[in-house]
Amino acid sequence: MRATFRRLVLVLLVAGALCVPATGAWAQADTEPVPGLGVRLLEGPADNLDDPRAHDYVIDHVAPGTTISRRIGFSNGDDRPIDLSFYAAAADIGGDAFAVLPGREGNELTSWITFSTDRTTVASGATVPVTVTIAVPSDASTGERYAAALAERSVPPPTGRGVTTVSRVGVRIYLSVGPGGAPRTTFSIDQMTARRDHLGNPVVTATVHNTGERAVDLSGTLDLTNGPSSLTAGPFHARGVATLAPGATGSVAVTLDTELPRGPWDAHLTVVSGLTSEEATTTLTFPAAKGSSGPPSSVSTGGGGPLLLGGAGLLAALLTAAIAALAWRRRGPRATAPA
Amino acid sequence: MKLRKIVPLTAAASLAAGLSLFGVAGPASADVGPAQPVTFSVASGALSLSQTAAPAITLVEGTAVALPVTSVVDGRNDTARSGAWTVTADVTDLVAGAATIPADDIAIAASSGGFDSGTGTVGTPPADVLVSVTADSIDSAYSFTPTATLATQSHPFSGTYEGTITQTVV
């Protein structure tokens, strides 16, 4: 029995080691450059492998005094070489969006960021990997900061005088600093509203409050059930992604087809940011007039929480199975003992 | 007795599923330092921005003047990742000798946008964001025409001004 259990533990350890590397980063494979000036994250921390946001953005939580580096690929999809310069620019979250500030405006985070090169010429069809290093000072205060690692291409006016056009592409950086583990990521769906836009499309808008300590990128999916004649509809995806800073309130909107019956409908909304999700249900009836809105409806929430996907989910399932097996084995002899 | 057999089998099956989920290509050979060995390889595309060749830009007071057409191609995404991006624009002061048109008098906006390929949804951007899009499919391409409008209260001297208009996608 001990041998069997040892084999089980060995399998679990191997599974854990393969699914969730203890250290390091994962890397993205090379692909053909897309038209124009392109950017993609080439690697991310292995402990964030399951977080879809970490595949597109630099998202990390580090202790003060930590230095991390990430490789970013910048590509030239044009038919001639282009000159690029690299730098970090401050970013802010407002109006439900992550936006880079104008010019080369910096902030505390950008002062910690260096690039392996400041400028280079990229051949047609080529991608250059650039290593971005973030050295967090040991006296850095706790909190999340935002910036972007950018490549800039400048095109002078054709006549030599006039307006210069500049294109910049970059990777968002969400860096949380503080001791211990990562701060919690939580949000709440506070209410939902049925309205009709100026084109006559029914729209469901949910008010979402970021109750956690880190920014969230919210996407949503709406299902409608129990409609007129027992109709069901969906899933419908939210219009855009709302980015909310900690403490901020924003909206997730789902636009529907004009032919959709007014209702009433049971509306079930799932809002997701990375590995965190929340669900809300309410009953909605769409107003008839264009540009009008129904009253906000309170919602029943639940069913959300951390999403356990891929390696983390797998490992959790395996550990649960192991614990159950151990408990079963320990209970077994007592159950068969004579009374 | 059954459980003793089932649990290792479940673990092995889950392990196989995990390998498939991650698209493991074996230890990668990327050139990162020993402190951060690359252990997983995931195929993904890029997010790109391109602008058509810029003609000489002539601003007219109170008129939305078209700027070079801007295209964003999002090859990063799949349905799980949402593929969200935003384009922002900013302009510097325009200067012609001693005359200056303040940047605050020039409004940049997006017009006539649409998907050239793929699908997605266009959000309602805040004031400083030109376009906010969630692309739903691989290699979606969205093009739009930015415009620059000079405030009518500026009354600038006619002439050739120099400055910079920047578009950024993240």
Interface contact B156, partner A, CB < 8 A: no
Q: Compute CA distances A41 → A150, A169, A283, B145, whole Å.
A: 12, 12, 42, 27
Measured distance CA(A191)–CA(B96) in Å, rounded:
53
Q: Which residues of A touch B49 (CB under 8 A)?
A: 36-37, 167-169
The neighbouring-strand residues paired with A276 are A273, A306
Instruction: Locate the chain A residue with the closest alpha carbon to B16.
Output: A15
The neighbouring-strand residues paired with A329 are none
Instruction: Locate the chain B residue with the closest alpha carbon to A322.
Output: B7
Domains of chain B by residue range: 1-43, 47-169
Interface contact A260, partner B, CB < 8 A: no
Helix (H, G, I), strand (E, B) or coil at A211: coil
Q: Which residues of B touch A29 (CB under 8 A)?
A: 25, 41-44
Closest CA to B154 of B76, B60, B74, B38: B60
DSSP letter string, B75-130: -S--TTTTTEEEEEEEEPPEEETTEEE-GGGEEEEEEEEEEEES-EEE----TTEE
Helix A2-19 vs helix A310-336: angle between axes, to the nearest 10 degrees? 170
Measured distance CA(A183)–CA(B151) in Å, rounded:
45
Does the pLDDT value for residue B145 go beyond 70?
A: yes
Which class would CATH give B47-169? mainly beta
Domains and CATH numbers, chain A: 32-177 (2.60.40.10), 187-304 (2.60.40.10)
How many other C-beta atoms are found inside a 10 Å radius of the C-beta of residue B69?
Answer: 15
The nearest CA of chain A is from the CA of B9 a distance in Å of: 9
User: What integer pLDDT is reported at residue A7 of this predicted model?
Assistant: 52
Nearest CB partner across the interface for B164, out of A164, A217, A219: A164
Q: Compute CA distances B32 → A72, A120, B49, whole Å.
A: 12, 20, 27
pTM for this model (two decimals): 0.78
Q: Which residues of B touch A19 (CB under 8 A)?
A: 15, 18, 22
Q: What share of chain A is helix, strand, coil (3-state, %, to 5)?
A: 15, 45, 35
The nearest CA of chain B is from the CA of A323 a distance in Å of: 11
User: What integer pLDDT is reported at residue A325 of this predicted model?
Assistant: 54
pLDDT-derived band of residue B79, with 50, 70 and 90 as boundaries?
low
Per-residue pLDDT in tens (0 to 9) along chain A, 339 residues:
454 545 544 444 444 444 433 335 555 545 566 778 999 999 888 888 888 888 889 999 999 999 999 999 999 999 999 999 999 999 999 888 899 998 899 999 999 999 999 999 999 999 999 999 999 999 999 999 999 999 999 988 877 888 898 999 999 999 999 999 999 999 999 999 999 999 999 999 999 999 999 999 998 999 999 999 999 998 998 877 889 999 999 999 999 999 999 999 999 999 999 889 999 999 999 999 999 999 999 898 876 656 544 444 444 445 555 555 555 555 443 333 333
Helix (H, G, I), strand (E, B) or coil at A331: helix
